Amino acid sequence: MTDTLSAPSSTPLNDAALPQLAERLQVPGYDRSALTPAVVHVSVGGFTRAHQLVYFDELARRGETGWGVVGVGLHTSAMRDALAPQDHLFTVVERDADEQSARVVGSMVDYVFAPDAPERVLDLLADERTRLVTMTLTGSTYAIDPQTGEFQPDEETRGDLEHPDRPQSVFGYLVEGLDRRRRAGLPPFTVLSCDNMQSNGSAARTAVLGYARLRDEVLARWIADQVSFPSSMVDRITPSTSPEQRAEIADTFGVDDSWPVLTESFTQWVVEDSFCNGRPALETVGVRFVEDVADHELVKTRLLNAGHVVLGCLGQLAGVGTTDEAITDPVLAGFVHGLMGEVLPLLPEPAGVDLAEYRETLLRRFANPAISDPLSRLSRRGSQKMTEFVLPSLHQARAEGLPNELLTLAVAGWIRFLEGTDETGRPLEVQDARRERLQGLVRQGGTDPRPLLAERELFGDLSDDEDFAARLQADLEQLASDGVRATLAARLAGSDDAAPLDQAQPA
């Protein structure tokens, strides 16, 4: 982010400017100095600021000031450098196709970059006022072996075991903070994962306890007995903010924000009601507390997240750059609609959720031109996303003898994407931790997927399914000979659930 594109008439964002900015957009009407720093959020990004911090801001606007948030960064100081001069205020702009609104969010009271101030982070975690630690990591950060389900420490975490009082990893910090509370006779904090992964609470518990057991079995037993790890389901499409969009926000709303956030009006947060040290009354601002989040997260990950990664790969192959462009393409939109149709019979229907209506809502959200999400962002970490969001539906459909032709073609599209070029030969950026190995296997096999399918860590029992391999090979051959749109259109013509191509665009 730079200052060169700021509108000349915009007001720099900080506490002192709030009365002036109140004439142009919503600002915190509460006394920010009265906020109790009760929440620590690890890894603050655009999604956190558009989602969780908005909920806490809304809570404070309703008079509940007991749940201020302190952000913690582990690997980059960019967020600290952007927000510290702004008194940790930032702007959230909600955009739909025909309207937009903006608000300044004031629920984050401080931000600490851990490598520069590790003891300060530990002091925060050991502070009696801290009652909740939330986090938005990546699935791979949890370091859970997909075969055994056990925690597998990486090099950073193993280093923390040698110097537990000087941690570097997120789990090193959490466990050291909990240990300091235990030794001080203080109650623990709740650990709430807000990551896009199924059973994120269980993953957090496995990782924290796995690390703790390697360090101290007595401490691990205390954590197991005392600490809550509720699961949650989060949902709000939040693309990255470009410098041009930042300048546009400054020009429209008159606020000079170093790093504003753009998002949609839709937002959802479903949380397992299991907390060990009190919890915020977030139900008063739209959060849904439930006994079991599993059905909600399954619906969201198998439809929205799966739809995103499939659209990201196929759209880029066809030369499309953003979600809204992709969904205005009747073939791509029809394919995503049909793909979701194959998934719907595999899903539970949570109370209050109409799955058919949810599918149509997702397509409308994808089509929102005001929240144009780059497909290159959606295809990042494709191997992880396919394993978590797409392949489980394929496994289930094949096991239950249900239609899976479009799911199979989606996998073929991802494999074709791994080649690293679109249909015209232009290079595509494949951002994946396994890229070199996977691309090597794809190039070894060409249109034969079997070298890649041998990666059992990714494909599980599909590695042994010769019928699936043959069908996948046929899809790859058709993609190579006919191209993406022709292949999708041919497959849609034989699908019972795909929307007619002239009706596929969402209203």
Closest residue by Cα to residue 288 from 309, 261, 268: 268
Do both 308 and 172 map to the same domain? no
Longest CA–CA span in the chain (Å) reads 68
Residues 253 and 204: their CA atoms lie apart, in Å, by: 39
SS (H, E, C) 8-64: CCCEECCHHHHHHHCCCCECCCCCHHHCCEEEEEECCCHHHHHCHHHHHHHHHHCCC
pLDDT of residue 499: 54
Give the predicted TM-score (pTM) of the model: 0.89
Does 231 or 140 have the greater pLDDT score? 231
Closest residue by Cα to residue 108 from 91, 77, 87: 87
Does 135 or 145 have the greater pLDDT score? 135
Looking at the domain assignment, is residue 3 inside a domain?
no
Closest residue by Cα to residue 189 from 273, 127, 232: 127
Looking at the domain assignment, is residue 6 inside a domain?
no
For residue range 420-461, what is the model confidence (pLDDT) as tens digits? 999 999 999 999 999 999 999 999 999 999 999 999 999 999
Do both 332 and 396 map to the same domain? yes
Q: In the listed set 290, 311, 345, which residue is the last one of a domain according to the structure?
A: 290
Does 352 or 506 have the greater pLDDT score? 352
Residues 28 and 210: their CA atoms lie apart, in Å, by: 41
Closest residue by Cα to residue 418 from 333, 485, 476: 476
What integer best gives the mean pLDDT of the chain? Answer: 94
Q: How confident is the model at residue 275 (pLDDT cuts 50, 70, 90)?
A: very high
Q: How confident is the model at residue 503 (pLDDT cuts 50, 70, 90)?
A: very low
Looking at the domain assignment, is residue 25 inside a domain?
yes
Do both 238 and 306 map to the same domain? no
Residue 154: give the domain boundaries: 11-290
Do both 366 and 267 map to the same domain? no
Q: Report whether 86 contacts 108 (CB < 8 A).
A: no
Q: In the listed set 290, 313, 342, which residue is the last one of a domain according to the structure?
A: 290
pLDDT for 417 beyond 60:
yes
Residues 308 and 491: their CA atoms lie apart, in Å, by: 20
Q: Structurally, how many domains does the chain consist of?
A: 2
Q: How confident is the model at residue 497 (pLDDT cuts 50, 70, 90)?
A: low
Mean pLDDT over 226-254 rounds to: 95
**Residue 50: how many CA atoms within 13 Å on its side-chain side?**
26
CATH number of the domain at 256, please.
3.40.50.720
Q: Report whether 109 contacts 36 (CB < 8 A).
A: no
Q: How many residues does the chain have?
A: 507
For residue range 66-75, what is the model confidence (pLDDT) as tens digits? 999 999 999 9
Do both 337 and 434 map to the same domain? yes
For residue range 331-386, what is the model confidence (pLDDT) as tens digits? 999 999 999 999 999 999 998 899 999 999 999 999 999 998 999 999 999 999 99
Mean pLDDT over 184-213 rounds to: 96
Do both 227 and 357 map to the same domain? no
pLDDT of residue 1: 43
